[in-house]
Amino acid sequence: MRVVVSGGGTGGHIYPAVALVKYIRQVDPKAEFLYIGTDRGLESKIVPELGIPFKTVKIQGFRRKLSLDNFKTIHLFVKAIAKSKEILKEFQPDIVIGTGGYVCAPVVYGAHQLGIATMIHEQNSVPGLTNKFLARYVDKIGICFEEAAEFFPKEKVSYTGNPRAQEIASEPKNQLLTEQFGLTKALPTALIFGGSQGALRINEATMELLPKVPNKPYQVLYVTGKRYYDDVMKKFPNEISHVKIVPFISNMQQILPNVSVVVGRAGATSLAEITALGLPSILIPSPNVTNDHQTKNAMSLVQAKAANMIKDQELTGDNLLNALDEILLSPDTCEKMAIASQTLGVPDASERLYQLIKQVIA
């Protein structure tokens, strides 16, 4: 099997693609892969480091407002289709899979024009522009939220879940909270993070609640994001009991199985990880995303009683602390939310996508 994968821009598009490649390599060691991205996106750093062959096309996204830049985008798109076809003819894939981000538009569309089998994978409850455009040209569409189905041709849709879920579900519990962060195994742990760069509102609320944590029967692992770490440490230069402050966690997949509740944004990959592990969560959807899709993502968990949601503009240290107390001070509530979360998880997502791939190329 020869597979081309394309997706980029954010980790939410890249990590599911990478997780799928890893899984297929396990079940089909003879499979060959090529990842097509851009030379400026996050994928250009992540993918080559994992030993996945990587090639690039030059492309940019459309502006949502009228802009002369969109004429340049159209020009680049046409050139990127031609470049993609050139790469695809050379690699001769059995299937081309797009996982989102504008880079996969010329790659998947070019594959369609060449008569190559195609798929897209939509991680969010509301699809982005690229996947909406590609839906009419691909053979199959994998989704992670049932709500996404209404945006696509019904006959093409399969509920697969997010491959990142299967990758994270296989991680065992370990001693890293103690060894890596100096926290104790004796207390429940709340993980608070706003993504690799951090989130201002989450940081502001967390800094308000930190002085009250030493009085609580739980502990906090607080990831500030790299851009905010120095500012946070200026406010808290001395160690706080039951609190560990770090700028970034590179091995998040190994840390998550050891925490009791997660506080963070409602990106698709994060929610796949949370539900795969059956973790309760307090979700603060980002207001700065297309079609407010993080709120819609979060509502899937809230309606299932697997998560509580606080709107970004309503977030304060007090209501975040109250939300943590509601879960961590009540073992019954925590357990019920964990069970609800686990029922939403798709721990065999990679296998489902793999079977869909085999169906498409059969």
Hey, where are the domains in the chain? 2-162+348-361, 169-344
Q: Is 294 annotated as a binding residue?
A: yes
Cβ–Cβ < 8 Å for 281, 263: yes
Domain 169-344, second-level architecture: 3-Layer(aba) Sandwich (3.40)
Q: Is 10 annotated as a binding residue?
A: yes
Cβ–Cβ < 8 Å for 140, 158: yes
Whether pLDDT at 73 is above 80: no
Q: Which residues are within 8 A (CB) of 208 and not within 5 positions of it... i.e. 6 or more apart? A: 316, 317, 318, 320
CA distance 109 to 128: 16
Q: Is 98 annotated as a binding residue?
A: no
What is the per-residue pLDDT across 300-338, written as a single tens digit (0 to 9) for each? 999 999 999 999 999 999 999 999 999 999 999 999 999
Whether pLDDT at 72 is above 90: no
Q: What is the mean pLDDT of residues 156-177?
A: 91
Q: What is the mean pLDDT of residues 333-354?
A: 95
Whether pLDDT at 68 is above 90: no
Res. 71 pLDDT band, cuts 50 70 90:
low
The yes-or-no answer to whether 2-162+348-361 and 169-344 have a common fold is yes
Q: Give the residue from 313, 263, 1, 290 showing the smallest Cα distance to 122.
A: 290
Domain 2-162+348-361 has CATH 3.90.950.10: no
User: What's the confidence (pLDDT) of residue 11?
Assistant: 83
Q: What is the mean pLDDT of residues 240-265?
A: 94
CA distance 360 to 94: 9
Q: Is 124 annotated as a binding residue?
A: yes
Strand ranges in the chain using DSSP code E only, listed in sequence order: 2-6, 32-37, 54-56, 95-98, 117-122, 140-143, 157-159, 189-193, 219-223, 243-246, 261-264, 281-283, 307-309
Q: Is 11 annotated as a binding residue?
A: yes
User: What's the confidence (pLDDT) of residue 259?
Assistant: 96
